[in-house]
Each structure stands twice: as structure tokens, then as C-alpha cells.
Amino acid sequence: MPIVSTSIKLPEELKARIKRLADLSHRSPHSVMVEALEREISREERLHEFVQEAMQADRDIEEGGNIYRADDVHGWLKQLAQGAASKRPQPWRK
């Protein structure tokens, strides 16, 4: 991926904090900022995707999609997390 140059104006205190962290971690301030931006952009993208999926699930329910009891789903997920074979819960409403 090509690298492009950009500029950003930072408050002095934030710039100093970045410099301190870079010094502590033996990295450049540039790498600290790039990693921070990458983490935040990835987090925002995941949040946006989560909201879109939730909105679609809500639309599906409104259109008559399956509804499951939370206790059934939580129990099923707990069994899966423990490595136990488990059947999917049955819909409460179809």
C-alpha cells in the first residue's frame, strides 16, 4: 500500500504525551500515532458494522423473523464456550 503524507495539528499537551509514550516504548512518535489511528479506525469500523447488523436483525424481527429467549441463547453460548456439543436453541417465536 502506498504511503502518503499528511499533516495534523495537535494540541501541545497531546504532542508531549505522544512523545513520552514513544520514548518509553522506543518507537517514533510517528509509529505511535499510526498505530493509534489504525486501532481507532478499526474500532469505529467494527462498531458501525455491529450497529448495521443490529438494525438488520431488528428489521428481520419486525418482518416476522425468529425470536429466541435470551436465557436459552446464553446457555447455548456458555456450553459452546466450554467446548461442549450443544444444539441450537429453538425459536420462541417464528
> What are the residue ranges spanned by the domains of the chain?
12-63, 66-94
Strand blocks (E) in the chain: none
pLDDT of residue 94: 63
Single pTM value for the model: 0.68
- Per-state percent for the chain, helix, strand, coil, to nearest 5: 65, 0, 35
pLDDT of residue 61: 87
What are residue 93's DSSP bridge partners? Answer: 67
Per residue of the chain (94 residues), what is the pLDDT tens digit?
888 999 999 999 999 999 999 999 999 999 999 999 999 999 999 999 999 999 999 998 899 888 999 999 999 999 999 999 888 999 987 6
What are the Cα distances from residue 25, in Å, to 19, 31, 62? 10, 10, 51
